[in-house]
Structure 1
Amino acid sequence: SGQTDETKAKEPASDSDSNIVYMSVAYIKKFCDSWNEDELLTEGLANSEWIDNDGDKGFKIIQLYRRDCPDSDPVEMQFERQDDKAMCVYAGKVENPDLDRGSDYEMFADTKRWVEMGNGDYGPMKGMMFGRLKFKGPKMEAMGNMGPFKNFLLMFGAPGDTSKCP
């Protein structure tokens, strides 16, 4: 096929999983599994040394939430270098409330915007430029990893119940 690596993002859930609440703990656990199957993420973020900027704690963190669900707790993913790959090793409730802004990320957007980015309507640059995707963390590092970051966002195109908050 004529697809590039950037367009082959693996969706974390099947249609039978569409009743899992979007961006809930159950949803993000499936997302973690899909991350580990995506070579652009696992190899690309190891080769770029993204995974190694971990604030000397041994793992990187990404916390995510839906901005229009103010009463819902964020979810957290943790990543470690394993076998020269950036592997997702934890997905669930927040374990690290105090993020290291030099190495860790917090990302949030309205549900509609997560779905739009997940469907490939636009990528991370446009999402950030137009304020649709907000994030805190090492911006220059993120800018140097736009290919993997785009794949990461495409995985949010997986079905999930967006009608209720996690």
Structure 2
Amino acid sequence: MNKLAVLGTVLSLSFSSFAAEPWMSPKWTEQFCEYWNKNMQTVMAEWAEYNVNKQKGYKTIQFYREDCNPPKKVEVRIKYENGKAVCIYGGEAKDPNPEFVMNATDENWKSLAKGEFGFMGMGIMKKMTFQGSKVEAMKFMEPFKSFLIGLGKVPHTDACP
């Protein structure tokens, strides 16, 4: 019986070191940046190259959960390199001039992360508050959808950051 107790303790300690981070926290966003670089560099490449602020050399997407009080923005910075959209930073929001800022309720974020966009993606703008070029977002709707679905791919807890 003691061997089982020791084994249980060892297993719980080893799993706790891999505990998921709160959704859209700075640490989670760092993990999302890693996910991006493994899974989204190609699908987001054309968008990353389009209309880049030449002074910055990258694009910033900031996002946050409305249900957390106070809301804490996080961001990913995306740079076009060698035909790919490379996430060069994921974490606390620091860019004073992001290209996009998005926020939604947890319920709506989860719906969007499942790909529940409505007819032709028109439901996206009803489910979130969106600041940035709507023309650019519409031009790159498929990559934008991939970004939203990607938000649900990185393990997380529902705790607020």
TM-score by length of 1: 0.75
For structure 1, the residue ranges without an aligned partner over 5 or more in a row are: 1-15
> Paired residue for 2:89?
90
The alpha carbon displacement at 1:49 in A equals 4.9
Q: 1:72 and 1:17, CA in 2 relative to 1: closer, same or farther beyond 3 A?
A: farther
Structure 1 counterpart of 2:123 = 126
In structure 2, the residue corresponding to 1:80 is in which secondary structure?
A: strand
SS in 2 for 1:65: strand
CA contact (8 A) 2:48 2:80 kept: no
The code of the aligned residue for 2:114 comes to: N
The residue aligned with 1:3 is none
Structure 1 residues 32-65: Cα deviation after superposition (integer angstroms, max 9, x where no partner)? 1111122xx422432x354342222111000010
State which of 124, 138, 145 in structure 1 corresponds to 2:140. 145
CA distance in 2, matches of 1:70, 1:51: 35
Instruction: Please list every run of 5 or more consecutive structure 2 residues that lacks an aligned counterpart in the other structure.
Output: 1-16
Distance 1:117 1:26 in 2: 21
Give the ranges of 4+ consecutive aligned residues of structure 1 lying more than 4 Å apart after TM superposition: none
The higher relative CO (CA closer than 8 Å, separation ≥ 6) is in 1
Q: Which residue of 2 aligns with 1:81?
A: 80
Instruction: Work out the CA distance in 2 between the residues paired with 1:151 and 1:29.
Output: 18
TM-score of the two chains, using structure 2 as the length reference: 0.78
How well do the aligned residues superpose, as a CA RMSD in angstroms?
2.0
Bigger Cα Rg: 2
> Is 1:113 aligned to 2:113, yes or no?
no
Q: Any idea what SS the aligned residue of 1:42 has?
A: coil
Counterpart in 1 of 2:33? 32
Aligned length: 141
Q: Percent of aligned positions with the same letter in both sequences?
A: 35
The one-letter code sitting in structure 1 at the alignment partner of 2:123 is K
Amino acid at match of 1:68: D
